[in-house]
Structure 1
Amino acid sequence: MKTNIQHLLTKISLLLSNNDEERWAAAFEQLSKKLDLDYDTALSDIKHTFGGAGSFNDLVLHHKGQMLVRENNELNALQDQLYEAVTTEIINRRNR
């Protein structure tokens, strides 16, 4: 599962970086590295990026005032996959 989560984080980070969202891209790169250092804390940190005002869930990619439809659709799909993977992994680890 860790490999899948890291793969999703890398894809998200690249998508964000390619669309001038460097702050979020760097955050997800760091979270990917943190998975190797402190797995449970990293999972929790990833899940927390989805909550609250100004969260990762609220991110909308745009360029020169125009919303990037294709890129946002891709981002939304990756967000869903990441949330599902992290939530499932947290539950699985609690049930061990």
Structure 2
Amino acid sequence: MPIIVTETEFQKFRGELYNQFNDLADSAMDLLDALCSNNKASSVVQLSLNPLFRRGYSALFKAIGALSFPETAKVENQEREDIETKGWGQKPLLERNCST
């Protein structure tokens, strides 16, 4: 069964996708366009050179950093809770008094 998508439907999809990004949405959309049109880049540097990624190299890393993934945030929150409840991180290791 062929998939037929009109330009209007595609633009609506892109608009809904754009709205899912909290920060740096323009950079994130450029990143997605570069990823979807790319079949040869073997590094982030090469991906940043894709004509559809219209920003500089550092913008690519900022766009990736701005993306939020619920599962990752859940793990990070759990790790933070573990540190707080177990007393880790109260004092940096180098600042602790060690008697030898």
Task: Tell me the TM-score normalized by structure 2.
Answer: 0.27
Which of 1 and 2 has higher RCO (CA within 8 Å, sep 6+)?
1
Which structure's residues are more often strand, by fraction? 1
Q: Which has the larger radius of gyration?
A: 2
